[in-house]
Amino acid sequence: MGVHNGVAAKLKQMCPSIVPIWCVAHRLELSADDSIKSVPLLAELKETLNGRARAIHRSLAQYKMVMFIHLVLDILQELKQLSLLFQRDGLTLQMVSDGQQTTTLSLVAMQLNRRETDNSTFNSLKLRLINDLCSFCQHALGIWRQGF
């Protein structure tokens, strides 16, 4: 099993003083996997369990996505208003400035008045996200003002 062409054998050829160490748990997994392949019922059981594990993983990923959307929903509402303002015909520089300031003030208000019903883990993540958005808006407004 990899005596001449395995990774350890190749490394030993390059550096003869190296001492190869193999993971016992990995070797046990490989031997169990080989023995499962020889019994069709066990192979089918393994495929069923792997399919179930994939379904659970997908479900958890979808749950995390829904929780993240819930987390940023109020932030996205503010950014949507700013985006709609930027898409308006006849947009003036004063409207851009007012829109950015309004959005920044709304984000700062969210930063200071977090809802008590939010989960504490999401509160800390949300606060960090709002802080990042506030600093980005302030930075963008500063660059915009310097450019004109």
Q: What is the pLDDT of residues 91-110, one digit of tens each?
A: 888 888 898 888 888 888 87
In a domain, 84, yes or no: yes
Q: Using a pLDDT cut of 90, give the percent of the chain over it.
A: 1
Decide if 127 is inside a domain.
yes
Domain assignment present for residue 48? The answer is no
pLDDT at 119 over 50: yes
What gap in Å lies between CA 78 and CA 123, rounded to an integer? 18
Q: Is residue 83 part of a domain?
A: yes
What digits encode the pLDDT tens for the residues 12-64? 888 888 888 778 888 888 888 888 888 888 888 888 888 888 888 888 888 77
Sign of dihedral through CA atoms 10, 11, 17, 20?
A: negative
Q: Is residue 122 part of a domain?
A: yes
| Domains held by the chain: number | 1
pTM of the model: 0.38
Full residue range of the structural domain in which residue 91 is found: 70-147
